[in-house]
Amino acid sequence: MESVISSNEVASLATDFSMMSLFFRADLVVKSVILILIFSSIWSWAIIVSKIIKYRKLKKQELEFDEIFWSGNSFEDLYETFSLESNDPKSKIFCSAIEEWKKSSKSKTNININSLKERMNRSMLIVYNKESELIEKNITFLATAGSTAPFIGLFGTVWGIMNSFQSIAIAQNTNLSVVAPGIAEALFATALGLFVAIPAVVAYNKISSDLSKYFMSLESFIDEFTTIFFRQLEAK
């Protein structure tokens, strides 16, 4: 009677194709592949959510900055306003340029317009590069996950199929109950790889496109501000 119960338990485990059962039944290599893919999925979604929140915050700050900047106040007044709480990239770019101008104004020598323009542009570009690097931080992981996850899953698939063939050779039986568990583990690894890759690729393309537009707006602001500032400086 005990042997019959044991056989039934084994049979029920073999026919259990839930995700947890597939994971615990897999060998060390397939388990490692699954764990890598699960970690990649969690980290990818963490990056996706954080970048979406960050982008919305940047757009909100940009609208607030544009509203104040184009209100008609002098650059000195704007500098006093933005320097108190310059959290967004546009504010930091603007403040870096005004700070460079203030340093040049304090010097007793005559201001060379071309030299000042070059220094201000350099200061703004330094801030722009730092801010863009911070904004784009970790986004390349999405591209990496999107391109490598299917192949990692495919490796788990190949390994699982090899285990199935070994089971057939050992049992000398091509019955579906012998082959099915290994095939199921293999397909689970493939499905998990696609589950990681597809959202990562879609999110990377979307986030990259949105950030490219935002960076273009920053570059346009640098050009607009430089033109307006030196037009007013030359008119004095």
Q: Is 160 left (phi over 0), alpha (psi -120 to 50) or beta?
A: alpha
Q: How many domains does the chain have?
A: 1
The verdict on residue 26 lying in a domain is yes
pLDDT at 6: 45
The verdict on residue 27 lying in a domain is yes
The verdict on residue 14 lying in a domain is no
**Angle of helix 75-84 relative to helix 28-69, nearest 10 degrees?**
140
The verdict on residue 10 lying in a domain is no
The verdict on residue 3 lying in a domain is no
What's the domain range around 181? 19-235
pLDDT at 132: 94
pLDDT at 21: 67
- The Cα–Cα gap between 67 and 50 comes to 26
pLDDT at 32: 87
The verdict on residue 2 lying in a domain is no
pLDDT at 173: 62
pLDDT at 181: 65
- The Cα–Cα gap between 91 and 98 comes to 11
The verdict on residue 7 lying in a domain is no
The verdict on residue 8 lying in a domain is no
Q: How far is CA 221 from the centre of its chain?
A: 25
Q: With a cut of 70, list the residues of the chain below it in pLDDT.
A: 1-26, 107-111, 167-169, 171-182, 235-236
- In sequence order, which residues have a C-beta less than 8 Å from that of residue 10 and are 6 or more positions away? none
